[in-house]
Amino acid sequence: MQKWQTVRGIIERGHQVASGIASDSPYPKGTIEMQTPFFQKLSLDLSAFFPGTLNISINPKTFTIQQPEYTFKTVKWHQKYPAEDFSFSACRVIFQEITYAGLVYYPHPETKIRHFQDPAIVEVLVSSFVPQIHYGDRVILEVNPGEILIS
């Protein structure tokens, strides 16, 4: 049985490029939808997940990816931009007493060219759209302590 480490968080507005809803996004379909076929070829099927991320602030805590379930190096998912490294780790988000299965989505900052995250922001893909969730809402994030270190 999976053991989880629990941390409280608050939903924050992100760059809105994962979902593609940012008005100035260079990714009209959103990065998640564009990246999904590349990850599928690498053995990770994201098609069951909502094509956007929840940005969960765990401030004043931060997190470090330790030994994630999946790490993919040099993924060339966009012809105009350099390849990036990505890691994913199973997680759960609890909102209004409902638990949503998820994946921590971690584009490695050392390989990114823009849209950097605060070290207290955990980007999470969830298994379905979370109704009624808004910026500022409190959630509980559960992560695998063997894969992600919360400090």
Per-residue model confidence as pLDDT tens digits over 11-34: 998 755 555 454 555 556 667 888
Return the CA Rg of the chain.
Answer: 14
Task: Indicate whether 123 belongs to any domain.
Answer: yes
- pLDDT at position 24 is 56
Task: Indicate whether 113 belongs to any domain.
Answer: yes
Domain count, the chain: 1
Task: Indicate whether 39 belongs to any domain.
Answer: no
* Cα 39-61-17 angle, rounded to 5 deg: 35
Tell if the pTM clears 0.85, that is, is over it.
Answer: yes
